[in-house]
Amino acid sequence: MHDLSDIAHWLESHQTHHESSVNETLPDPTFITGGESVVSFSTNNYLALANHPRLVAAAKSGLDRYGVGNCESRLLGGDLEVYRELERRLGALKHKSDAVLFVTGYMTNIGVLSSLVKAGTLARLHGYRAKKRHKYAYYSDEYNHISIREGIQMSGAERHNYRHCDMNHLESLLKAADGTTPIIVSDGVFSMEGTIAPLPDLVALAEKFGAILYIDDAHATGILGEHGGGTSEHFNCYSPNIMQMGTLSKALGSIGGFVAVDREIADVIRLTSSAYGFTCPPPPDQAAALIAALDLLVEEPERRQRLWDNQRYFIEKMQPLGYQIISTATPIVPVLIGDAEQCRLHARELRKEGVHVDAVQFPAAPLGQARLRFMMNAGHTHAQIDHVVSVMGRLAGRI
């Protein structure tokens, strides 16, 4: 019997395989599963835009015009004005002159980080002759998303991890760099911690050491900043050194990923990233829906305000219960439980009460630091928040 069969049997006997229900609707933030209504505190649909009538209408119009999918690489005849318009809008949101659209956020990180260090080599195949050969090295926050870690690994470049948001440790690593061009990579908002990267300090280090700074703004785009511009807008910190990546399947309610850069860098990425050039883009109806979502970021700022109001309300109600809240900086509010089995028991008890919360444990969280990851939503009502807090209060000290 081959290894995959052995592993499957082992997982079954040890009951360690992943179990999940098949839902009848998607969370907005309430969803139907098994004929019952459940409130999700784990959806990435932060602004409850995925079912917004404007997005649905835009997608339907795109379906009528383009059909259900784009069966071409954009480099080989599959480009459309709707993609170019979306890229212009995403670039403007991030204060960059352009953006490059990918099929998912995961593919964005893999596609850009794996190819960034190879761009010079690939360009030489087309006759480019560099004035200087650069040797690149990555410097990555230890809590970065797995797609970042895999993209860096695929690049083949030298890589160093620095302690979470520890700028002194990062600087010591950069000082030890020998003849390399550094690329600093960090999440803008860390998905399991809810912490925000110290962007001004990262920019200062990038400028001091001549580094490229790559920020994954998956959980910040549409959320942080007065207009939802993300980490840079939150800190009012902009720099030509920053490459700003984002996803479109979270606050913007659709599918896709992008990296916002200056136009000349965008052209390099389009020509050198296999994840862009050798696959199809998101369906054109989704690009149309995303343009509508960007309009709504401007036209309905009250959605973002409700999200933050709900975040503050939840934290205010939770604090007297005695749980340790890992971070209160963003709509990701992780509550530390510690023991993995206790964390799973909490999640199961919450589910019995009509609440879905992710129990996050190793390897997504450090050993001994299992947590319930509460993700707040613009669509939550205070009554729903009161209910989940009431259940958590009953569970405190009982499990």
Catalytic residue check, 191: yes
Compute how many other C-beta atoms are within 10 angstroms of the C-beta atom of residue 320: 9
Residues 283 and 69: beta-carbon distance below 8 Å? yes
Structure tokens given for 341: 């089995």
187/215 Cα distance (integer angstroms): 6
Pairing relationship of beta strands 136-141 and 98-102 according to DSSP bridges: unpaired
Q: Cα separations (Å) of 51 from 28, 33, 97? A: 7, 17, 30
Tracing tokens 């960007």 back to the chain, one arrives at: 294
Catalytic residue check, 390: no
Residue 234, classified by CB atoms within 10 Å of its CB into exposed (0-12), middle (13-18) or buried (19+), is buried
Q: At what angle do helices 167-175 and 199-209 cross, to 10 degrees?
A: 10
Polymer length in residues for the chain: 399
Task: Give the gyration radius of the chain's Cα atoms.
Answer: 22
Name the DSSP class of 196. B
Residues 231 and 189: beta-carbon distance below 8 Å? yes
Q: Which residue in the list 94, 145, 219, 234 is annotated as catalytic?
A: 219
Q: Which residue in the list 40, 191, 254, 273 is annotated as catalytic?
A: 191
Q: Which residue in the list 250, 346, 356, 380 is annotated as catalytic?
A: 250
Catalytic residue check, 219: yes
Q: Which residues contact 158 (CB under 8 A, 6 or more apart)?
A: 135, 136, 137, 138, 180
Q: Give the CA-trace dihedral at 182, 183, 189, 194, to 10 degrees.
A: -50
Catalytic positions are 191, 219, 250
